[in-house]
């Protein structure tokens, strides 16, 4: 596969339209994610049912993700992203009204999470595909760090803490905030669309069936040794982290014995690690190379997860999981940049969707496994499972990444 390097343009102001849109929608996402978790904990204390809301939110990466890549490659990417924002605005607006009238149960919560995630799978793929066109003179590591970092700040530092307070005020308020965030993001994407030239398309004499294009993308992915290895390693990391996040609200309330408001602050503290990871990734990757940066990300996980499994003190668990947040951001930025360089622009949507089929497709399995382990054993069990899975990354990562140049 041909590489797609950075552009030679000077600093491109259009990048900030995309950055602002993803950052603002990230604020709403942070509010919604935390409010969904708190809502589920109010409706039931069964860890498997609480985890099933996370499962529902992750399933579209497995069921719809592969087909979104065809949409990314066939249609105007900015216009399609704008339509995604419009769809998310309408869906969250409807959910807010249902919440006001008291019609929300676990099934409605899970169903809404599923539908939103269906749109998210397409929107995230579109945002990544657009990034090289607006990065300007920035390296892709730098552009991706800025995009992911902006989302991290609003999602985890701002959105998550205020969600607990807004939810305590009125259950519908966090979801109204999310609705407004998608509306504002859509307006920014519409402005970007008037300033962005069309991206290259793969030449073809006619439209191939969607399944044909999807199968072709899967073959391209599986035939590329480095992408295949990267896919496996990041999939296991995702499995481990989402397995813990699926029951995190119950772990915080019942194991660490914090209040719902403190849960939001605890999640914000953990997010400090993610932000630090985004900040240092470009310099770290340039200094020690992508391979060593990925291996460092894997090495940061097992011990902190084991500490979290053994402690009942929130102030011990928080700094331990801070390191896990840093690992997730290190791995996310480096793996995204590698994909942008390894996959040709005209097929990026499809091959990236195939990649995310495996990586994000393991997330609902992780959430289900974490919920089941917590239900059958204790709320500490998912942390032991995640520690074992990430220890496997440390053991096998160096061999699987041999083909990656420093």
Residue 8 in this model has a pLDDT that exceeds 60: no
Domains by residue range for the chain, with CATH: 14-196+209-400 (1.20.1250.20)
Q: What is the mean pLDDT of residues 157-178?
A: 82
Residue pair 180/52 in contact (Cβ under 8 Å)? The answer is: no
Residue 397 in this model has a pLDDT that exceeds 70: yes
307-360 pLDDT, tens per residue? 999 999 998 998 898 899 889 888 888 888 888 788 887 777 778 778 877 887
Distance between CA atoms of residues 326 and 329, nearest Å: 5
- Name the pTM for this structure: 0.69
Nearest to 386 by CA among 233, 230, 234, 243: 243
Q: Which segments of 93-222 are extended strands (E)?
A: none
The four Cα atoms 127, 129, 130, 136 give a dihedral, to 10 degrees, of 120
| Residue 5: predicted pLDDT | 39
| Residue 207: predicted pLDDT | 59
13-63 pLDDT, tens per residue? 788 888 889 889 888 888 888 888 888 888 888 888 888 888 888 788 777
Share of the chain above pLDDT 70, in %: 89
**Residue the block writes with tokens 């940066």:** 293
Residue pair 23/150 in contact (Cβ under 8 Å)? The answer is: yes
252-267 pLDDT, tens per residue? 989 999 887 777 777 7
């Amino acid at each position: 596969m041909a590489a797609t390097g950075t552009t030679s343009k000077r600093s491109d102001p259009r990048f900030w339209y995309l950055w602002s849109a993803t950052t603002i929608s990230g604020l709403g996402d942070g509010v919604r994610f935390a409010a969904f978790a708190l809502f589920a904990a109010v409706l039931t204390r069964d860890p498997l049912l609480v985890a099933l809301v996370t499962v529902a939110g992750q399933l579209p990466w497995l069921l719809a993700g592969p087909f979104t890549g065809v949409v990314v490659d066939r249609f105007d990417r900015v216009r399609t992203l704008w339509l995604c924002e419009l769809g998310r605005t309408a869906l969250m607006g409807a959910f807010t009204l249902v919440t006001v009238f008291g019609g929300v149960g676990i099934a409605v919560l899970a169903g809404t999470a599923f539908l939103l995630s269906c749109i998210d799978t397409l929107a995230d793929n579109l945002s990544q595909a657009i990034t090289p066109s607006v990065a300007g003179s920035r390296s892709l590591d730098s552009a991706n760090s800025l995009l992911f970092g902006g989302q991290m700040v609003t999602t985890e530092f701002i959105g998550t803490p205020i969600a607990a307070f807004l939810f305590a005020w009125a259950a519908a308020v966090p979801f109204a905030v999310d609705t407004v965030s998608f509306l504002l993001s859509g307006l920014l994407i519409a402005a970007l669309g008037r300033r962005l030239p069309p991206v290259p398309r793969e030449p073809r004499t006619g439209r191939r069936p969607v399944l044909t294009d999807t199968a072709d993308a899967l073959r391209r992915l599986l035939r590329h040794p480095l992408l295949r290895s990267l896919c496996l390693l990041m999939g296991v990391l995702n499995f481990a982290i989402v397995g813990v996040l699926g029951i995190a609200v119950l772990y915080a309330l019942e194991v660490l014995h914090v209040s719902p408001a403190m849960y939001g602050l605890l999640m914000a503290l953990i997010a400090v690690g993610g932000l630090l990871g985004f900040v240092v990734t470009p310099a770290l990757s340039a200094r020690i190379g992508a391979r060593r940066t990925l291996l460092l990300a894997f090495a940061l996980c097992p011990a902190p997860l084991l500490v979290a499994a053994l402690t009942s003190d929130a102030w011990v668990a928080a700094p331990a999981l801070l390191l896990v947040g840093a690992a997730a951001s290190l791995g996310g930025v480096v793996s995204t940049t590698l994909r942008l360089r390894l996959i040709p622009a005209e097929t990026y949507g499809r091959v990236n969707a195939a990649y995310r089929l495996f990586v994000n497709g393991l997330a609902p399995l992780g959430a289900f496994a974490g919920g089941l382990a917590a239900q059958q054993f204790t709320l500490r069990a998912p942390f032991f499972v995640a520690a074992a899975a990430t220890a496997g990354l440390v053991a096998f990562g160096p061999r699987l990444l041999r083909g990656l140049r420093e």
